[in-house]
Amino acid sequence: MCSQNNSLQKRRQKMKKLQILFTILLFASAVNATEKHKEVVSYKLNETLVFPIATYLNQGVSTVMFPGQIEGIAAGNVAMNKVHYKLDGSPVCDFLLSFQPGNYYFSIRALKSGASGTINVVYGRNTYILKLQENENNAMSTVSFSDSGENGLDSERDFYPPSTAVLKGLLSKAKSFDILKKKYPGAVSQVTVCDNKCISEYKDYTATVLKSWRFNNYNSLVFLVEFKNKSNKALHYNPNKTVFSVLDQYLTSAVSESTGTIPANSTTLAFFVVSSTPDGRKNKFAADNKWKVLIKLKAESAK
């Protein structure tokens, strides 16, 4: 009788150990699944790949961001900006895509459970294929495309600086940085910002760097500059020849948003983007350097 009780007790202990082990395995599996699910995803630009994007159905939207202005979007079975319905009340298309021409991002969500589809995004004269799949539980909130991402290392920029389209995109991101940081932090995770004022004094004008942004994954800087005209005549300059210097290093503006004119006895704001150095090396300068700004005045301004 005692031997039967001992045997029964051992079996119970064994079952208890198996239950504990099973619970541990379930917990580990849940943790692993959670780690694999990423709401903020970064992809490296590559026109030869198909990029999967898991979208929401009811709980949100997936925002897809490119480095610069999107040139076009082509999609089948996808409603653009407005949903149309059949007589039975069901949506005509499987996805709703919200996009405004000129933007560098769009938002998309599924309209039907289990929906799948494909969209082609034209950017930088290349076409990128995005494979959509409704997956409410593992949806991606923000998907950012750049020259660095999960499927590749940071590209070498010594001889291949960012294109003009990309640099214009960086300027747009700098202008909306505060909004992006709040709503889509993954899109600006590699950006450092400095608001230390750097003042350059000259005879006819003062140039003050009010703010600077460094996009680490593009080795590029964006500057917000305030120009103050101290003279009684309008000053005219070529924005593309604006120079930003640190010690004996000089970087020339590659892209700008400027009128090229500073009215007499007035101030005006301008944005500039600088990328690789004049000799083709990577721009490794930090945003918080003591920058000097020099513009090249046109002949009529010097008279």
Give the pLDDT of residue 278.
74
Does some domain include residue 34?
Answer: no
Together in a domain, 136 and 185: no
Beta-carbon-side half-sphere exposure of residue 183 (alpha carbons within 13 Å): 14
Q: What is the pLDDT of residue 89?
A: 84
Q: What is the pLDDT of residue 157?
A: 36
Per-residue pLDDT of the chain (303 residues; tens, 9 = 90+): 545 555 666 666 666 665 655 554 554 444 443 444 458 888 988 889 999 999 999 888 999 998 877 889 998 889 888 888 888 888 889 999 999 887 889 999 999 999 999 999 998 788 999 999 999 989 999 998 886 555 543 443 334 678 888 899 899 999 999 988 888 887 787 899 999 999 999 999 999 999 999 998 788 999 999 999 999 999 999 999 999 998 778 899 999 999 999 999 999 999 999 987 777 777 888 999 999 999 989 866 555
Is 158 part of any domain?
Answer: no
Which residues fall within 8 angstroms of residue 142, CB to CB, at 6 or more apart? 39, 40, 41, 62, 63, 65, 184, 186, 187
Domain contains 99: yes
Confidence at residue 108, expressed as pLDDT on a 0 to 100 scale: 94
Same domain, yes or no, for 215 and 261? Answer: yes
CATH code: domain of residue 213: 2.60.40.1150
pLDDT given for residue 21 in this prediction: 52
State which residues form the domain around 221. Answer: 164-302
pLDDT score at 153: 39
Residue 11 lies in a domain: no
Q: pTM for the whole thing? A: 0.58
Task: Give the separation between CA 80 and CA 98, rounded to whole angstroms.
Answer: 6
Q: Which of 278, 271, 298 is nearest to 209 (CA)?
A: 271
Residues contacting residue 254 through CB under 8 Å, at least 6 positions apart? 161, 164, 167, 240, 273, 274, 275
177 with 125, same domain: the answer is no
Question: Do residues 169 and 288 share a domain?
Answer: yes
Question: What's residue 112's pLDDT?
Answer: 92
8 A C-beta contact, residue 95 and residue 132? yes
Q: What are phi and psi of 32, to 5 degrees?
A: -65, -40
Residues 270, 301: Cα–Cα separation, whole Å? 18
pLDDT on residue 256: 95
- DSSP-based three-state secondary structure for 271: strand
Residue 1 lies inside a defined structural domain of this protein:
no
Domain count, the chain: 2
pLDDT of residue 149: 53
Instruction: Round to whole Å and give the CA distance between 228 and 20.
Output: 73
Give the pair of three-digit tokens for residue 46. 């590559």
- How is residue 110 written in tokens? 């599924």
Cα separation of 143 and 131, whole Å?
13
